[in-house]
Amino acid sequence: MADALTLRLMTEEEVGRLVGWAADEGWNPGLHDAELFWAADPEGFVGAEVEGELIGGGAIVSYGGRFGFMGLFIVRPEFRRRGLGSRLWHARVGMLRSRLEAGATIGMDGVFEMQEWYARGGFRFSHRSLRYEGVGKDGPMAPGVVPASEVELGRIAAYDARCFPTPREAFLRAWLAQPDGLALAVVDGERVNGFGVARRCQEGVKIGPLFADDADVAESLYVSLATLAPDEPVFIDVPEVNAWAMALARRHRMLEVFGTARMYLGPEPSLVGSRIFGITTFELG
């Protein structure tokens, strides 16, 4: 007999537990990911219960109803291989669709070994994103780099909208100002040429997003953001389709340590891919 599975929205405390399970799995979450994820969409996390016990969950985040993202998908190890994860995943797709406008696209970053399984659920492969690990270095900021707090949020949000499927100013407000983080931008007069965020994680720091007009701007942002963690690990999730971004990783002698397949259910968003040197997160896009 199949387990009786109950699905419901998660509380903020439970999202914290979900991020804790991600840490146990070696996902190396940011120190403040739980509260930042919750702030992005308090109705965007589904929990799965068996006999009243929380056994798994995942994100069904809606960005203004115009784009959805599925991530942070975890079932506790002792409840795996019982079909519970499959039931939870398919239910989440339907629940997220109900939160979006008709025809809105859903994105996800899936591990390579599950790519064919996700494809059977209707998701189509777009490209690979590769996690690279380097080492932070002490030093001054690169010329032209300024704190993102000195730039009007609307200007950064307008730049971000070229690199993400829909505007997400409310998310950016919290992400740029997160504790234990560093948010920087490159500006030329009134023009924003790029911006990026580094956040402290359980191990080292992750840089994401890193959006820039060209390789030179990306280089200035990367070396400046990496000063948050001198002699510590620095991670960045690079879309393999951006040759400039891949060259940046090679130039800094970074090692590939993980990867995912970016997949979409619905039309693939039209983005300026050459500006995307590092995605924001595998969990929320």
**Cβ contact 48:75 at 8 Å:** yes
Q: Map out the domains of the chain as residue ranges.
A: 5-128, 130-259+271-278
The answer, yes or no, to whether residue 21 has pLDDT greater than 70, is yes
The pair of three-digit structure tokens given for residue 90, joined into one six-digit string: 């398919």
Three-state DSSP state, 184: strand
Residues constituting the chain: 285
Percent of the chain with pLDDT over 90: 93
The topology (CATH level 3) of 5-128 is: Aminopeptidase (3.40.630)
Could you check whether 5-128 and 130-259+271-278 share the same CATH topology?
yes
The CATH number of domain 130-259+271-278 is 3.40.630.90: yes
Among 25, 36, 24, smallest CA distance to 15 is for: 36
Q: What is the pTM of this model?
A: 0.95
Let me know the angle formed at the C-alpha of 41 by 35 and 42, rounded to the nearest 5 degrees: 70
Band of pLDDT at residue 2, cut at 50, 70 and 90: low
The answer, yes or no, to whether residue 1 has pLDDT greater than 70, is no
Give φ, ψ of 19 to 5 degrees: -65, -35
Cα–Cα distance for residue pair 209/201, rounded to 1 Å = 15
